[in-house]
Amino acid sequence: MMLPAGFFTEDYLGAKFPLINAPAIFINGALCPDEELVAAIQQLKPEESLWKDDYLLAAKVNSPLNFKIEAIPRKHALQYPDPIRLLTQKWHIFQHNGEEIRRDFQLVTKRRISTGCSDPYTHIYNESAVFIEPGAKIKASIINAEAGPVYIGKNVQILEGNLIRGPFAICEGAMLSMGSKMRGDITIGPKCKVGGEVSNSVFLGYSNKSHDGYLGNSVVGEWCNLGANTNVSNLKNNHSPIRVWDYAKGGYSETGLQFCGSFIGDHVKLGISTMLNSGTVVGVGANVFGEGFPRKLIPSFAWGGVGGFNTFILKKFEDTARKAMEFKGETFEEEDRAIIQHVFDLTRPYRIWDKSF
């Protein structure tokens, strides 16, 4: 039986992602569990918690509305003995994506039968590792699952001439443009439209990169649009490790990675032929355009490019967001507007050109 799920969030997200006021198991949202860890969580007794060193993994509580991590009694704390995977850095999202696709593939497809591909001009290597949901349409493409599984969600459209290598997952209602090259370790969220060349990247949902251009080792949020010929660098010319802006630290952090692209927040718009340097962080609602490489930290609601930035007027941003969401059958609700207002206020100090604060 599927149990209802609630969310324990920052206060400003609570209206859109509510908490269920019933006895519940809280699970760390950064955790990538395996079967052994799931079993350990299910065995928790009321008011017990499960930890890995100082990281809270899960807690079983009777009163979710009164839940506070710092108030968990340590006498009921259990230490988990085995290795775990926590996404504690933003680059972990793409770094571990291939392995997590392999895990998820086994769970999602267990005891189920793929609808298969009826198109005579599509060639599939290692078909037993390809799962196709009902309503998916594939035309004249090559799917290679020899290096990892390929999952194709409900009502997905894969247009003519696509080259796909696993591990690869494309979720419900998404589309691959004609002639795309998907190089593996990729997740494409629901209702995305993706084309060009992509490697080891994650699209969270409802975003577009419909045209040619390269994107590698990157994370793209929801409701983004990457204009034609947008290119993202994921390797420095001197092959040295890449640094990325860390909001919590208030400075740049070493990733230790030779390959690291960009982190693109929700509702970002990148104009035609935009170029982003390796390790670029683009904040929520930014609109970037023009020639050359902009700075590696682009604040939320920035409007401009190499020549400088202004602030994206919030009313105009909301109008754009509303139209983008309506285009994909979704609605810009009052809860969304309130979240955007909070993020706009929270990120104001980063827009150093805006003296109004």
Residues 229 and 273 in one domain: yes
- pLDDT value at residue 1: 58
**355 and 240 part of one domain:** yes
Task: Please indicate, yes or no, whether residues 35 and 143 belong to a single structural domain of this protein.
Answer: no
Residue 215 lies in a domain: no
User: Considering only CA atoms, which of 109, 80, 83 is closest in space to residue 96?
Assistant: 83
3-class DSSP assignment, residue 157: strand
What is the pLDDT, as a whole number, of residue 39?
Answer: 96
Dist CA 58 CA 46 (whole Å): 12
- Same domain, residue pair 150 and 261: no
The residue among 61, 79, 97 that closes a domain is: 79
Phi, psi at residue 140, to the nearest 5°? 45, 55
Q: Whole-angstrom Cα distance, residue 82 to residue 67? A: 26
What is the C-alpha separation between 190 and 344, in angstroms, rounded? 26
Q: What is the pLDDT of residue 357?
A: 45
One domain for residues 111 and 238: no
Pair (67, 107) in one structural domain:
no
154 contact partners, CB below 8 Å, separation of at least 6: 133, 134, 135, 136, 172, 173
CATH number at residue 267: 2.160.10
Instruction: Give the residue from 79, 101, 125 where a domain finishes.
Output: 79
Looking at the fold, whether 157 and 273 belong to one and the same domain comes out as no
246 with 295, same domain: the answer is yes
Task: Report the pLDDT value the prediction gives residue 70, as an integer from 0 to 100.
Answer: 74
pLDDT at residue 63 in the model: 80
- Within 10 angstroms of residue 102's Cβ, the number of other Cβ atoms is 14
Helix axes of 334-346 and 314-327: crossing angle, nearest 10 degrees = 140
Residue 275 lies in a domain: yes
User: How many structural domains are present in the chain?
Assistant: 3
Residue 216 lies in a domain: no
Out of 56, 79, 102, a domain closes at: 79
Q: Tell whether 212 is covered by a domain.
A: no
- In a domain? residue 118: yes
DSSP state of 128: G
Q: Which domain holds residue 56?
A: 11-79
In the chain (357 residues long), the average pLDDT of successive 10-residue segments reads: 82 92 90 94 93 93 79 82 96 98 96 97 98 98 98 98 98 98 98 98 98 98 98 96 95 97 98 97 97 96 96 95 95 96 96 76
Q: Do 144 and 187 have their domain in common? A: yes
